Homo-oligomer: A and B are copies of this chain.
Amino acid sequence: MRKNLKAKAYMYPLPVLIVGTYDENGVPDAMNAAWGTICDTAQVALVLSASHKTVKNLLKTQAFTVGVADASNVVAADFVGVVSANTMPDKLEKTGWHLQKSEFVNAPIIQELPLVLECKLVSYDTDTEICIGEVVNVSVDEKILDEKGKVDLTRFDPICYDCSGHGYYKLGEKVGNAFSDGKKLNV
């Protein structure tokens, strides 16, 4: 039996993305964004309200990083979403995170995050608040790579955000293979 819940934007899962920027004086900031996805083979799209310090920063520097939050960084990842740099400019000091400037773009890499996309700003649409970035490099901690140099989800625990219950979840059991399982029906 189906039920109507009215108009809600429910999507499962959502990622937990830590967007890193510098302001015009090189002061770093980071925020937590769940509304983001891939939009081309080397592009990402984030939906970021113009009021965020992050947006003010990336419009000035034309650059940002996107770190994928993992289970070992839940508390700090949530913290940068709870507190705004508009009111607490030094908020990153409370996270314990160590920052290093990207080799490729004018934005900080958070060393504790195992996978970070380094992006050049392509566009920011003030109507939709969609920010598109060109990924110029992916910086990873070697500990999440397998012997062939590929990201290995048995060594990396990205977290998922539940937009309704507001929990953070690890990935669980593998239940299938894309571009493969469906072929069984193609007979």
A residues adjacent to B (C-beta < 8 A): 1-15, 17, 34-45, 47, 66, 68, 71, 74-83, 94-95, 103, 109, 111, 115, 117, 123, 128-130, 132, 134-142, 145, 149-153, 156, 158-187
Complex CA distance for A180 and B82, rounded to whole angstroms: 8
Indicate how many identical chains form the complex: 2
Q: Which of B1, B14, B130, B134 contacts A130 (CB 8 A)?
A: B130
Q: Which of B43, B47, B162, B186 contacts A82 (CB 8 A)?
A: B186
A13 touches B171 (CB 8 A): yes
A-B contact pairs, 16 of them (CB 8 A): A2-B109, A6-B137, A8-B42, A8-B135, A8-B138, A12-B171, A13-B171, A34-B37, A75-B176, A78-B180, A81-B178, A82-B183, A153-B165, A166-B178, A166-B179, A168-B175
